[in-house]
Amino acid sequence: MPVDVVIVGAGPAGLAAAIRLKQLNDALEVVVLEKGSEVGAHILSGAVIDPRALDELLPDWRETCPLADVPVTSNEHWILTRRRKWAMPHLLLPPLMANTGNYTGSLGTLCRWLAERAEALGVQIFPGFPASEVLFDDPSTGSEGAVMGVATQDMGVAADGSHKADYQPGMELHARYTLLAEGARGHLTKRLKTRFALDAKSQPQIYGLGIKELWDIAPEKHEPGRVIHTQGWPLSERDAWGGGFLYHQANGQVALGFVTALDYANPYVSPFEEFQRWKHHPAIREVLEGGRRVAYGARAINEGGWQSVPQLAFPGGALIGCAAGFVNVPRIKGTHTAMKSGMLAAEAVAAAIAGGREKDKLSEYDSAVHSSWIADELNKVRNAQPLVARFGGALGTVLAGLDMWLRTLKLGLPFTLGHHTDAENTRRADLYQPIAYPKPDGVLSFDRLSSVFLSGTNHEEDQPCHLLLKDPTIPPRVNWPLYAGPEARYCPAAVYEWVGVEEGAPHLVINAQNCVHCKTCDIKDPPQNIEWVTPEGGGGPNYPNM
């Protein structure tokens, strides 16, 4: 199927790119592939959204977009100890941490609204069609093996590889340009980074695991537009760092969640269990008591910052949004930068096609990003994450805040700190004591399986496992004896299970049907033996409004 542009991923970056392309050239045939069962089904974010890119793309968005319903009305930052909280004075926070003029709501709902706008312009959106393979031109044609499109996942393949009665082969989409908007740790993005050495001159990307719930709370406790961020306890007890959020959104709901930086050393740490502990803090419990949990989900978040952004353009296409890593970690925001990157890529593609170029390297897109407000914003915070990672939550926060203040004044540290991968930072289990996490009470805290149920996750069971072990012998030879089987703890969805431990023959069972597509296993596995690939289309979570 020949098209002008194929976009992989119907998140904010991909949809912004599609809309901008049609704004620039209505004749372009633009196709968006989405692996979820519908647009928004796999979208998860806090979310407090800076509308800067939305204002540029669709200036009238406030007239019809649900996001406009809840502007931020108050902004609080709490430092937690085990029993108490300390509200950080606003004067101590760098100006970029303010949320004045921002909005809180569902990013999934925003994407559905953007999809409607895109389709009204003539964009074709195909939910339930994951892109499983990148297609390349034959180098003998003189195109240097440029990307020429993607192929979608075959449907109706049994677990043993045989074809079922309803088998349907994937379709090939041949495009002049291909934009990857897969989100954090995209599997096609990983392959293109390797093929074209896109990250040869950048720091490795690092990640946090964000776990989120939606709660209906008591009406008298609900304050639409109230935004709270926390740091400190409980991760301060684990030599790890991260923080929580609690956003009062529309319809009497709060979105709450917890982000754990995946560079933690202790393999006994469980981000899911730390989130459950956090909800029992008196300040958080006060908001939730009398309420009811209605949704759950999890997703990896880019935390590498500006120094981890790779080369963006390759022959035949580009990386946009979180596939490239434009998250502003201190602000806990990436939607506006993702959308802007999609818009800049669309402008470069439209100009290239108008100039008679195709499957070319879009160097002008790289240049445009580096001269945009994306670069200005991310440069100001480029040392924040590594300072906290190196010096801990208390001292690191002070140093990061000082550096951000100075950069606001065009000063700051005269160098850029680097990263090690999250997998490399994991240390041996014999250096630590196992952590005895409290049992869930079924009121504020819950187990993984009941949580996964609320995510609406579903996969066709008779299909090849989409969580591949490059070497099946490594888990019992390496992960269990050296790291005490960390898969069972870092996964927030009970996908990985160690059995046969009491018999002295531990082996790893992968319950792939539970997978919420967070990508944590692909990131945190110490020997980097797990690879996440696409399952059948429509599989995974079905988030209603996350």
**How many of the other CB atoms lie within 10 Å of CB of 258?**
27
Average pLDDT over residues 70-88: 94
Q: Using the predicted structure, report yes or no on whether residue 508 has a pLDDT greater than 90.
A: yes
Residues 249-276 have a mean pLDDT of 97
Average pLDDT, integer, range 408-415: 75
pLDDT tens string 322-342: 999 999 999 999 999 999 999
Average pLDDT over residues 371-392: 89
CATH fold of 446-532 reads: Alpha-Beta Plaits (3.30.70)
Question: What average pLDDT does the segment 529-538 reach?
Answer: 96
> Does pLDDT of 501 surpass 60?
yes
Peptide bond into 346 cis (omega under 30): no
Kindly tell me if the per-residue pLDDT of 142 is higher than 60. Answer: no
C-alpha–C-alpha distance, residues 352 and 364, integer Å: 9
Q: Which residues of 101-137 are buried (b: 16+ CB within 10 A; e: fewer)?
A: ebbbbbbbbbbbbbbebbbeeebebbbbbbbbbbbbb
Candidates 360, 362, 350; CA nearest to 30 is: 350
pLDDT of residue 143: 58
Q: What is the pLDDT of residue 385?
A: 86
Please count the CA atoms within 13 angstroms of the CA of 535 that sit on its side-chain side: 26
Report the pLDDT averaged over residues 231-248. 94
Q: What is the reported pLDDT for 128?
A: 96
- DSSP string computed for 205-258: P-EEEEEEEEEE--GGG--TTEEEEEEETTGGGTT--EEEEEEE-STTEEEEEE
Dihedral-angle region of residue 203 (phi above 0 means left; psi in -120 to 50 means alpha; beta otherwise): beta
The rounded distance, in Å, linking the Cα atoms of 82 and 99 is: 27
| For range 115-144, the mean pLDDT | 89
Above 70 in pLDDT, residue 450?
yes
Residue 388 CA: distances (Å) to CA of 23, 239, 391, 419: 42, 11, 5, 12
| Nearest of 545, 30, 496, 531 to residue 272 by alpha carbon | 496
pLDDT at residue 239 in the model: 86
Q: What is the pLDDT of residue 144?
A: 66
The pLDDT of residue 531 is 98
At the top level of CATH, the class of 2-61+108-204+306-380 is alpha beta
Q: Is the pLDDT of residue 375 over 60?
A: yes
Higher pLDDT, 95 or 354: 354
**Residue 141: per-residue pLDDT:** 60
Residue 87 β-bridge partners: 78
Per-residue confidence band for 140, with pLDDT thresholds at 50, 70 and 90: low
Q: Is the pLDDT of residue 405 over 80?
A: no
Choice between 410 and 472, residue whose per-residue pLDDT is larger: 472
Element counts in the chain: helices (H) and strands (E): 17, 23
Checking if the pLDDT of 18 tops 90, the result is: yes
**Hey, what amino acid is at 357?**
R
Query: Which amino acid, residue 407?
Result: R
Active-site residues, by number, are 45, 299, 335, 491, 515, 518, 521
Per-domain boundaries in the chain: 2-61+108-204+306-380, 446-532
Question: 504 versus 17: which is more confidently predicted?
Answer: 17
Q: What is the average pLDDT score of the chain? A: 95
The yes-or-no verdict on residue 57 having pLDDT over 90 is yes
